[in-house]
Structure 1
Amino acid sequence: MNGYHHLTSAQLAALAAGATDMAALAELGESRVSRHLLLLLPLIRGWVGDEGERDTAVSVLEAVQEADPQVFTWLIGDPMVGAWLSRTSRERTRTGDFLELGNFAAAAALRAGRDCRVTGWAREGRLVIPTMGTAVLGDDASAPVRIDVSGGAVTLIGSSGVGTTLVEGRNWWPLRQLRARWDGLERAVRIEDASPFRGGYHAAPSDRLDDDEAAVWQSRFAKAWSLIGRHLPDRATEIALGLRAVVPLIDSGDGSSRSATARESVGALGASRPTSAEDFAVTIVHEFAHSKLSGVIDIVPLYRPGGTELHRAPWKKDKRPTSGLLQGVFAFQQVADAWRCLAAEPALAEVARAQFTDLRDQVRVGYRSLAASRELTPAGAEFVAVLGAAVDRLFDEPAPRAR
């Protein structure tokens, strides 16, 4: 178990059962912040490039952390920041990845209302300021760029020495937000369609959405959030706390929806264009379940690393390692339960009952393989036993009829 962060036995059992435990979810978020900080330190110590540029960016971050620790903590915990830190710590050779520290410092200064002058990195003519947006430069070069933040305005100075102030609609793409409200519970989730670190899924991320496409996502998100709020209120509460970004994925063109969660960007989900509001609602529940379990595993090892077992999973053509099967059973148990609840929506009753019936059968098959695994740790065995009780509850009663 992680020596700094801790989940009690009751919290671990609640998470395994699919219950909403806000204290446990807060601990998962704090653990993610610690993980990112641990990745940031070796980046600073193993710096590749001009150490003066590093020290300037670090000074900005230290000033923000001291003056406004909530801003710093929120920013360092962001999924795209985590993806950047994970990639840089893994590769350790790309000067541009290290200079993204300047982009990160500029974001911290902007959010804290401070001025700064740092050196960042533009990739193929675009400079991304994490959680805020993308500057579109006049060429396709990848190069260092000085970032001046003053009074909330941003000016970029490239190798020519000429400054360019960022203006929305001309050379600045602010990150769009998917916004929705249900019964006083409001949710705003970023559309991450420009960050160079938004990949890591089984499908490639799409380029920036045009206005019409963004409007489609907004409409379906608002309807999906309404479904979640009406029929899955506990899920709505936890998703409002933990989901921060959606990464649009390239559409395969076969009419199917794709979605995924990347381990290095927990708190974000990747998805192709949702085919319907109910599809989007279930996708959000599905991928947020993966995020929760990834957070749990960061604190409490549930299976032994390097295992060689392979298991049949009804939702996959190939056999899955214990780690993958655990993720699948945990997430699909919550998806099946979501369809059970959505069957109370008259317009969805028939399709929801069919989805629920099929999925609970698949989850039971997958669970039997998981429970037989010899690679579970003692904590993992306890977690899986509680998860099994949640799977059994799917069979306690037939799918509900429409009201």
Structure 2
Amino acid sequence: MPWTDFDAFARGGGGPALVRHLRATERSRRLLLLRGIIDQAAKSPDVSAPLPPPEWAWELLARIEEQDPAAVETILAHPYTGSWAGYTTRLCRQDVTGVCPFWVHLGHVHCLAAAAAVRAGIDFEAELPIWQGTVSLPTLGVVRLHTGEAFGVARVSAGNDGIVFRNRHREVRLPDDLSTETAGWQPVRPIISWHGDLRLSLRLDDLDPYRGLYEPIPPKRLSPLEVESWRSVVAGAWQLLTTNLPDVAEALTVGLESLVPAPAVAFKLPSASTGEAFGSAIVAYSSDPEQLAAALVHEFQHIRLGGVQHLAALHTDDPRERLYAPWRDDPRPIGGVLHGIYAFFGVTAFWRALAAAEPGNALAAFEFALWRKASWRTLRAVYPDESLTDIGRRFLDGISVKLAPWQEEPVAAGPAAWASMSARDHYATWCLRHLRPDTNAVSALAGAWRRGDSWPKPGRLPEPRTPTPVPDGSWTDARTDLIRLRLGRNGNTALRTHGPTVPGATKADLALVSGDHESAVDGYRTMLTTNPDLPAALVGLGLALAARGTGPAARALLHHPELVRAVHRSVREETSTTPHVETVAGWIGRFTH
């Protein structure tokens, strides 16, 4: 990859040409993995039984390549060919079985070859693995064959009589039109969206066994009504992307080809992708086109970065979970943080464009303000990290070219204030759960409290720098979910109607986001009387007190919440009377910054 292309990629550009280059890279990588799997299997011929050796599938692919190279290319480019190759390679290296017997995973190579042969329209015969009554033809669909066992073998033949699958229980003949669903055949269904001259063509894949993130999963068929709902919301998201981020949309037509539907999650839109499945995104259903558009950009950024990381090392191998990421509730390794920065750089770009196009869209302004600061803060924090390579710093430099000027762009006061509250909420809660204050400092402060010192002077308090991945307390994003309700469609009405159903939301949270700060303070105080260790209540009280005006208790609860809780724990364990945690926070806040 030329440096000019790398720099364009880092700035969020590069267009379709760059994505095609990354696709070519993935093709080479998958061929190497495929050949490696076949060579490894050849060392122990019995591992493929009861199926033929994988070399047979390679020979079939070679024959198809001579007659119809495009059919082989489609199979090699299929995202889940990459997932299968990576998963099966790890099984080979680690000498473990996996979700299915090893021969089933290994035998999936015959499914890949058979799918290419069906696409090419050539005569062939093959034996394929059956898993829970299904035989996979990647990119096309699955055949349903009744079987009395979890795993089995199907025989397929293609000739003048059509394409027929058989086992000892049943025979299934594929329809001439493979998009037609029959009793024994379920096709992968397409989503095709047009806006202007840009066409997005996706497979809505609820069938491929290797479409998951970590390991194979059985088919989970959507109903026709669910498919139409997906088509409708994707069309709306595509219109937003082509209108507001046309350059990204153009590249996305080449870089995203498969969408794995996940169940809807109330007030959330979780999504995921993996570097092994270049071109695929797993996305939960949402009826909101704006949120789906942001999720598609988010995963497309991950897809592109995953492809680049197969060409260049942005960081050394450092799996330590040690860094704060404003989009996660756990400490992250450097690789995960870099992925997050690039993904939310893309998300920021989308909300920025939408907020500019729709000045009255308070939610878009909030999302822009929230994610521009989160991405920039994280980029600056990791830039000097020793694990970054020179290429990694060049990557961050490219992002900075775009992201730095965005920090100065005006955002309406209301959405900006809510974004600031959400950011403080997330960071303070993360600190409570993952930072452990210096034990000597805690002992000194607890001792000073017990002696009744009004102004202890412990000197500069040691700052906890290394987080632990083991959390201390629960996590909830309820307040940010409530903020989005308030700033979204129907605003306060939606907050009153749907706010109480937000998972994890309390009456105090509702009062805080509604602007009733006195009720919020009272509510959090009551919660802390029952459970003084509760992260959501400790941070919530800090936010509510800060909303009324700055003060030492709010300062301590938002900037040193882990210290407040640790000192309060020590005090209540060693004294007969337990002070309210707010009192201890106010005392600590008088001499901390």
State the TM-score, normalized to the length of structure 1.
Answer: 0.91
Aligned-pair CA distance for 1:70: 2.7
Identify the match of residue 149 of structure 1 among 155, 158, 161. Answer: 158
Per the alignment, residue 335 of structure 1 pairs with 347
Tell me the residue number matched to 2:48: 49
- 2:197 aligns with 184
State the superposition RMSD in angstroms.
2.2
Which of 164, 173, 186 is the matching residue for 2:186? Answer: 173
* Pairing 1:17–2:25 present: no
Distance 1:292 1:215 in 2: 28
1:346 Cα deviation after fit: 3.8
Query: For the residues of structure 2 that align with 1:264 and 1:156, how far apart are their CA atoms?
Result: 30
Bigger CA drift: 347-356 or 61-70? 347-356
Tell me the residue number matched to 1:64. Answer: 64
Inter-partner Cα distance in structure 1 for 2:139 and 2:161? 15
Q: What amino acid does structure 1 have at the position aligned with 2:163? A: V
Which region of structure 1 is more displaced relative to structure 2, 188-197 or 309-318?
A: 309-318
Q: Show the counterpart of 1:73.
A: 73
Separation (CA, whole Å) in 1 of partners of 2:253 and 2:306? 18
Q: Which one of 105, 116, 126 corresponds to residue 108 of structure 1?
A: 116
CA drift at 1:38? 1.0
1:218 corresponding residue in structure 2: 231
The answer to whether the Cα contact below 8 Å between 2:373 and 2:407 also exists between their aligned partners in 1 is no
> What secondary structure does 2:199 align onto?
strand
After TM superposition, the structure 1 stretch with the greater mean CA deviation from structure 2, 167-176 or 19-28, is 19-28
Equivalent position amino acid for 1:369 in 2: A
Aligned to 2:209: 196
Report what 1:3 is aligned to. none
Task: Give 1:354 deviation, angstroms.
Answer: 1.3
What is the number of equivalent residue pairs in this alignment? 391
Measure, in 1, the Cα distance between the counterparts of 2:117 and 2:219: 29
C-alpha distance in 2, partners of 1:347/1:280? 20
The aligned residue for residue 354 of structure 1 is 366
* Counterpart check, 1:289 vs 2:301: yes
- Which residue, out of 410, 421, 430, partners 1:398? 410
Partner letter of residue 48 of structure 2?
A: G
- 8 Å contact from structure 1 (residues 205, 248) kept in 2: no
User: If each structure's helix is expressed as a fraction of its own residues, which one has the higher value?
Assistant: 2
Deviation at 1:372, TM superposition (A): 2.1
Residue 146 (structure 2) aligned to one of 138, 153, 157: 138
For residues 201-235 of structure 1, the C-alpha deviation after alignment (integer angstroms, 9 at most, x for no partner) is 69x89821111111111100011111111111101
Displacement of 1:23? 3.0
8 Å CA contact 2:286–2:292 kept in 1: the answer is yes
CA apart distance, 1:136: 1.4
Work out whether residues 52 and 127 of structure 2, in 8 Å CA contact, stay in contact via their aligned partners in 1. Answer: no
Contact 1:340 1:356 in 2 (8 A): yes
Distance 1:315 1:54, change over 3 A: closer
Find the residue that maps to 1:46 and give its secondary structure. helix
1:90 aligns with 2:90: yes
Contact 2:314 2:389 in 1 (8 A): yes
Write out aligned runs for 1:164-313 (5 A): 164-167=172-175, 168-200=181-213, 207-252=220-265, 254-308=266-320, 310-313=322-325
Q: What's the offset of the Cα at 1:301? A: 0.6
Q: Greater RCO between the two (CA within 8 Å, min separation 6)?
A: 1
> 1:118–1:147: 8 Å Cα contact kept in structure 2?
yes
Asked whether the equivalents of residues 100 and 121 of structure 1 are also in contact (C-alpha less than 8 Å), the reply is yes
> What letter is aligned with 2:324?
R
How much does 1:255 deviate? 3.0
> Which structure has the larger Rg over C-alpha atoms?
2
Instruction: Decide whether the 8 Å contact of 1:83 with 1:265 is kept in 2.
Output: yes
Give, in angstroms, the shift of residue 345 of structure 1.
Answer: 4.6
Structure 2 residues without counterparts, runs of 5 or longer:
42-46, 176-180, 413-593
Deviation string 1:37-68 (CA, Å, 9 cap, x unpaired) is: 11101221222225845343222200111222
Could you tell me which amino acid in structure 2 is paired with residue 31 of structure 1?
Answer: T
Give per-residue Cα distances to partners, 1:131-184, cap 9 Å, x unaligned.
000111123631111111235942111135x64213422211110111100112
CA distance in 2, matches of 1:115, 1:321: 50
Cα distance between partner residues in 2 of 1:212 and 1:37:
38
